[in-house]
Amino acid sequence: MISFAHLHVHSAFSPNWGIHSPANLCAAARSAGMTHLALTDRNGIYGIPHFLEEAKKAGIAPLIGAEAVRGTQRAVLLAENRNGYANLCRLLSMLHDRNPCDLAEALAVCRDGLYILSDDAGVLNRLAKQSCEGLYVEVSPGHHMERALALARSLKLPPVATTRAVYLREEDIETHRVLRAIAGNTTLTRLSAGDCAGPLDFLRRQAEMESYFPHCPEALQNAAQIADSCQTDWDFSATVFPRFRGLADQRAASLLACRARKGAIWRYGEINAEITARLTKELTIIRDKGFAHYFLVVQELAKRSPRTCGRGSAAASLVAYCLGITHVDPLRYNLFFERFLNEGRIDPPDIDIDFPWDERDAVLDFAFQRHGEQRAAMVANQVGFKSRGALREVAKVFGMPADEINRVTRRLSSHWSAQRGIQAMDSHPLFRGESLSSDWHDIFAIASRLNGQLRHLAQHCGGLVIAPDDIRRHVAVETSATGRPLIQWEKDQAEAAGLVKIDILGNRSLAVIRDTLAAVARHTGNSIDYRSWQPLADAGTRRLLCAGDTIGCFYIESPATRQLLKKMWGSRPLPDEDTLFEHLVMASSIIRPAANNFIREFVARMHGHPWRQLHPRLEPILGETYGLAVYQEQITQIAMALAGFTAGEGDRLRKIISKKDKDQTLEDYRQRFMNGGNRKGVSDAVLKEIWQQVLSFAGYSFCKPHSASYALVSCKAAWLKANHPAEFMAAVISNGGGYYTTLGYLSEARRMRLDILRPDINASDRAYCGKNRQLRIGLMQIASVTDATIDTILHERRTNGLFSSFNDFLRRLPHLPAENVKQLTKAGCFDALEGCKRRPELIWRLLQRNRRNILNGMGSLFDTEPASTPKLPPYDIATMRTQELETLGMPAACHPLAPYGEVVRASGAIPAVELNRWVGRHVTLAGIWVTGKPIRTGKGQAMEFVTFEDTTALFDATFFPAAYARFCRKLGSSRPYLVKGLVEQEFGVATLNVMWLGYLDEERKDRFEGFF
């Protein structure tokens, strides 16, 4: 039997309490000579799948448990066996129920298969009356040991030694105190000792433990005995499948096969030998792995909307395509099914389905209604400390002034890491000249250690798990802010524990497409079938895509993607439908981070730069992607072709690389790759070059089915933009846009020669409206006007007709909040009825009416006749401009640069649309900041890619480190800029290498006449 084991240990998965990762704890236990270790995080099993994996790597026998805390009641629970684990999950779920439960009462119901350790007299007394089996008194150094031993003697219960381990080293005490102060929303100086773990709560060696228990060695022996009798060979590899309508497995498989063949006729018109062979192969694997129920459940959910995007590796499945779950033909586009399912795959894949963002909740409601809250739950996001948030929280508990915290953190990008430390910040141009107090050194040091600590759970945007029985047998469940059941694991741990996830995700672009199609049908009478629509058959759509005119189009609207599309096609002939689609799929994957060198080589090869395959066996795999690994599944295929891997082994390699797991496991696979390649006669030089290409890119790429699914949505959006621009841009803005601001999309509409119409009380709906060549701003854009006010206005207009005047509006809607009506007036909603010059009179009349209503409500003795409206002068142009910015949040009457026309001309600025004519020359441009992307060079220097726009076009500018150091503090402002630099060109696309940046409005401005 073992001599001692730690049974009460907290990891970073103890919310706002623990510090160290399961990996660090397992390594420390191993270093201390331990063979067993329990993980007992507070009120949860938040990190158990991670713990089991790390324990296996460290050679530690893992015990599953938790510390259950309810008010002042507490107990450590350890699962003796699988039944005990199920009861542990049930009990933890009860503790998180919205109806408070008594810990002792809950344990009395769910104690079978559990060891219970506590020094809580109330809990132990209640349970001892029921049974003393599995019941122990916890005795811990620094936690009233004598009192606990006295309790053990009085109740005749065995004592057990623990340390309530939180710390591994002395500096952990300070980190823990910071966590507790953050959790209590207080400062370190106000933190009490009772709020924190004890100063002796370390993971200690056995010799140290013996020194604390010379008078009670049986407490150590009992700890060893419990550890020895608990299950440690935990296996969560069995997949927990949902069950479709209670069908038997064979019946579900038969039903799936029937539906797949029926769907094949719907998709193809007939079933030929190729379709039959592919369906047979897929259906056999699906049946053998027990996945038929899962496909049927997902199909039922997908049918809840006619507009979906089934994506991820599942889009390689012909069965999914025939069921209508996915919409890209896997045969036509040569999609690799084994990336989704193969005979050697151990972990369960999942199917991701995008729905229009405002339909997703209804789909989830249906899923819970169909399967019940006992069997269905949402996947969690485990929210921890990140970058600026960690720094801000630590600074607060140090008592730093709020303005100083804001001054520091607002200059850090969301991708900044506290691990870089204050030295990295000191060298950043944004902080040049700043002097920070010495406390900031401690703040940065502690913030750098808050990496991975669990703060709380949030609901994953769409991850749904469905079990065949009570899900609380498999994992503890909490209740999310939305009221839905929420498992305690995030998606990777859920997968590791065998829970099959269905991603029900919201996609704004699908709502854009839906709303645009509805508007087109209303305006033209033409209805388009979403599922059979072939957008690339339209030459205008292909031209738009090749030109990179894709602002507003799903996934391909960022500056980097638009540049890539322009570089790919340039002046090349217009491609056919299939050629363009295949290249869009490649672009969707290769645009991922850290792929710049590959992108440049990829485009060069497209344009005829000579290249050759590194090995003839790679031609069937990399031939379509110009000899470069662009898709994730190409890793699997390369390993199979060159090194003799099976599909399962190749997929495992792909997964390790994609998760950037650069440990010994990857080295093992590298050696197997080299040895397998050598056996097939491939030289070391070729194998090393291919291995480096795979390593440097695979972690960032998509799989081809996923890219193809995205590309199809992109093409549909592009077709709508090319053929119905007003309806399309209205839908983009109304659905919350995408990469750009509302002003950015309005500027794009102007470049498309659409007329921008201001909000109008008779013509505007809630959302933006587009028709013919006009785009009308919706009432939703007006700040501080409530949804209830908008609903009231639209209902009155539909019921009783248009408003004839401002007085008519007030008469028909007397109870609208005066502030809302004032905002409508300042936004120009009544200009068409009354004229913009009468805005002061309308506001006076509104305020007078409001005053009269107040006086009447106070029971005034005198009749308050309305006073005659005085003759008020109209607002000047500057005031109207201010009102527009206040109510709409942006200049809408004209482009933001339009009022600066004279200054722009005097500066000698060229129009952005002509940038390609000035390659190799220094130029000046005027522009509004649109978006920026800060990065670091290979040498760690800060720089930024920025997109500006003038009245003619967008233009991309690069601030290399020297220019960035000079001008970074000016970037991101809403003020108009003058930009000077050298025009450079690559693959026909011109960009500006910035040499100087200044504010245009520091010059004399034009007047605003003519814009209102």
Residue 760 CB neighbour total at 10 angstroms: 17
632 neighbors 660 (Cβ within 8 angstroms): no
Helix (H, G, I), strand (E, B) or coil at 6: strand
Residue 862's pLDDT is 39
Examine the pLDDT at 654 and tell me if it is beyond 90: no
pLDDT tier for residue 864 given thresholds of 50, 70 and 90: very low
Residue 418's pLDDT is 58
CA distance linking residue 333 with residue 690, whole number of Å:
25
- Looking from the CA of 896 toward its CB, the CA atoms found within 13 Å total 27
Q: How far is CA 579 from CA 268, 550, 573, 590, in A?
A: 21, 18, 12, 17
Residue partners of 760: CB distance under 8 A and separation at least 6: 776, 828, 829, 831, 832
Examine the pLDDT at 867 and tell me if it is beyond 70: no
pLDDT tier for residue 860 given thresholds of 50, 70 and 90: very low
* Element spanning 596, H or E: helix 596-606
Residue 629's pLDDT is 86
Residue partners of 231: CB distance under 8 A and separation at least 6: 64, 79, 80, 81, 82, 84, 85
Residue 941's pLDDT is 87
| Residue 885 in tokens | 């910015």
The model carries a pTM of 0.90
pLDDT, tens digit (0-9, with 9 covering 90-100), for 622-652: 999 999 888 888 988 999 999 999 988 888 8
**72, 76, 77, 78 alpha-carbon torsion, rounded to 10°:** 170
* Element spanning 923, H or E: strand 922-936
Residue 578, amino acid: D
CA distance linking residue 845 with residue 369, whole number of Å:
53
Q: Give the residue-averaged pLDDT of 189-201.
A: 93
Residue 416's pLDDT is 60
* Element spanning 138, H or E: strand 135-139
pLDDT tier for residue 610 given thresholds of 50, 70 and 90: very high
Residue 96, amino acid: H
Find residue 959's DSSP bridge partners.
Answer: 944
Find residue 62's DSSP bridge partners.
Answer: 37
Residue 973, amino acid: S
Q: Give the residue-averaged pLDDT of 654-677.
A: 78
Chain position carrying tokens 């007036």: 825
Helix (H, G, I), strand (E, B) or coil at 239: coil
| Residue 511 in tokens | 């709502």
CA distance linking residue 860 with residue 852, whole number of Å:
10
925 neighbors 953 (Cβ within 8 angstroms): no
Q: What sign results for the dihedral spanned by CA atoms 933, 938, 942, 943?
A: negative
Residue partners of 677: CB distance under 8 A and separation at least 6: 642, 643, 686, 687
Q: Give the residue-averaged pLDDT of 913-932.
A: 96
Residue 431's pLDDT is 72
CA distance linking residue 803 with residue 387, whole number of Å:
53
Residue 870 CB neighbour total at 10 angstroms: 10
Determine phi and psi for 948, rounding to 5 degrees: -115, 170
User: Which of these, 386, 433, 384, 427, lies nearest to 407 by C-alpha position?
Assistant: 433
CA distance linking residue 842 with residue 600, whole number of Å:
60
Residue 388's pLDDT is 80
Helix (H, G, I), strand (E, B) or coil at 391: helix
Residue 419's pLDDT is 55
Helix (H, G, I), strand (E, B) or coil at 891: coil
| Residue 497 in tokens | 């524990």
Share of the chain above pLDDT 90, in %: 76
pLDDT tier for residue 422 given thresholds of 50, 70 and 90: low
Examine the pLDDT at 663 and tell me if it is beyond 80: no
Chain position carrying tokens 């009468």: 838
pLDDT tier for residue 664 given thresholds of 50, 70 and 90: low
Span between the terminal Cα atoms of the chain, in Å: 88
pLDDT tier for residue 566 given thresholds of 50, 70 and 90: very high
Residue 939's pLDDT is 84
What beta strand segments (E) does 359-500 contain? 376-384, 454-466, 477-479, 485-487
Residue 832's pLDDT is 97
Opening angle at CA 665, ends 661 and 670, nearest 5: 95
Residue 1009's pLDDT is 41
Examine the pLDDT at 935 and tell me if it is beyond 50: yes
| Residue 321 in tokens | 């395509």
Q: Which residue has the higher pLDDT, 240 or 14?
A: 14
Examine the pLDDT at 294 and tell me if it is beyond 60: yes
Residue 485's pLDDT is 96
pLDDT, tens digit (0-9, with 9 covering 90-100), for 806-834: 999 999 999 999 999 999 999 999 999 99
User: Which of these, 787, 834, 794, lies nearest to 813 by C-alpha position?
Assistant: 794
74 neighbors 120 (Cβ within 8 angstroms): yes
Helices (H), 186-291: 206-212, 217-229, 249-268, 273-288
pLDDT, tens digit (0-9, with 9 covering 90-100), for 56-97: 999 999 999 999 999 999 999 999 999 999 999 999 999 999
Q: Give the residue-averaged pLDDT of 997-1002.
A: 90
pLDDT tier for residue 136 given thresholds of 50, 70 and 90: very high
Q: Which residue has the higher pLDDT, 775 or 1004?
A: 775
Determine phi and psi for 219, rounding to 5 degrees: -65, -35
* Element spanning 933, H or E: strand 922-936
Residue 912, amino acid: A
Q: Give the residue-averaged pLDDT of 945-952.
A: 96
pLDDT tier for residue 1008 given thresholds of 50, 70 and 90: very low
Q: What sign results for the dihedral spanned by CA atoms 803, 809, 814, 819?
A: positive
Q: How far is CA 305 from CA 324, 358, 362, 363, in A?
A: 11, 11, 10, 8
CA distance linking residue 316 with residue 631, whole number of Å:
13
pLDDT, tens digit (0-9, with 9 covering 90-100), for 708-740: 999 999 999 999 999 999 999 999 999 998 899
* Element spanning 367, H or E: helix 360-371
Q: Read off the DSSP letter of residue 498.
A: T
Residue partners of 314: CB distance under 8 A and separation at least 6: 320, 325, 326, 340, 349, 350, 351, 352, 705
| Residue 784 in tokens | 């501080």
Opening angle at CA 689, ends 684 and 690, nearest 5: 100
Residue 35, amino acid: T
356 neighbors 507 (Cβ within 8 angstroms): yes
Distance of alpha carbon 125 from its chain centroid, rounded? 48
Residue 595, amino acid: A
User: Which of these, 421, 921, 335, lies nearest to 636 by C-alpha position?
Assistant: 335
Mean pLDDT estimate for the chain: 91
pLDDT tier for residue 1012 given thresholds of 50, 70 and 90: very low
Residue partners of 430: CB distance under 8 A and separation at least 6: 411, 942, 968, 969
